[in-house]
Structure 1
Amino acid sequence: MSKAEIRSPLPGTFYRKPAPDSPAFKQDGDAVAASDVIGLIEVMKSFHEIQAGVDGQAVTFLAEDGDAVMAGQVLAEVEQ
């Protein structure tokens, strides 16, 4: 099985859920479709949806909710 990386397109703060009291978009081990939103990047109070970009059987997050991330940083890996 190969793994695809989901990278941050922007520097900012990574959030795994749409709001503090909401469930995460995806959990470790969940299947994903290319169009699925897996998180948000906040840059100066503006939120940008991060889509998986690939179909896969299981996602593994490398960035935690609330982590500061850099552009190009791997947020998650997807088993294909």
Structure 2
Amino acid sequence: MAMHTIELTLPGVFYQRPAPDQPPFKSPGDPVVAGETIGLVEVMKSFLSIEANCDGIFGRYLLADQSDVDAGDAACEIEV
């Protein structure tokens, strides 16, 4: 199997979890379906979903939770 990288399309702050008191959207080994939310980016107080663009097995996040990000940054890896 190969690793597929999900890249961000906008700058902002990246979140691995839907809320501070909740677990991350995905953990290593979790199944992933195309269109499923795997993270959030906050831009000017708006939260935008980052969605998987392929099916596979979640590998790992490549960005720390609540980190500043730019468009084109790799957010996570999915094994396809």
TM class, shorter-length: over 0.9
Partner secondary structure for residue 31 of structure 2: coil
Structure 1 spans left out of the alignment, 5+ residues: none
Letter in 2 for 1:15: Y
Superposed counterparts of 1:55-66, under 5 Å: 55-66=55-66
Specify the SS of the correspondent of 1:57: strand
Q: Answer whether contact 1:31 1:58 (CA < 8 A) is retained.
A: yes
1:1-80 matches, within 5 Å, as: 1-80=1-80
Structure 2 residue runs of 5 or longer lacking an equivalent are none
Between the two proteins, the alignment pairs up a number of residues equal to 80
Structure 2 contact 26–58 (Cα < 8 Å) conserved: no
Larger relative strand fraction: 2
**Alignment TM-score, normalising by the size of structure 1:** 0.92
Q: Quick one: distance in 2 between partners of 1:21 and 1:57? A: 24
Following superposition, the deviation at residue 42 of structure 1 comes to: 0.3
Asked if 2 retains the 8 angstrom alpha-carbon contact of 1:12 and 1:68, the reply is yes
State the 1:35 CA deviation.
Answer: 1.6
Runs of 4+ in 1 over 4 A off after TM superposition: none
TM-score using structure 2 length:
0.92
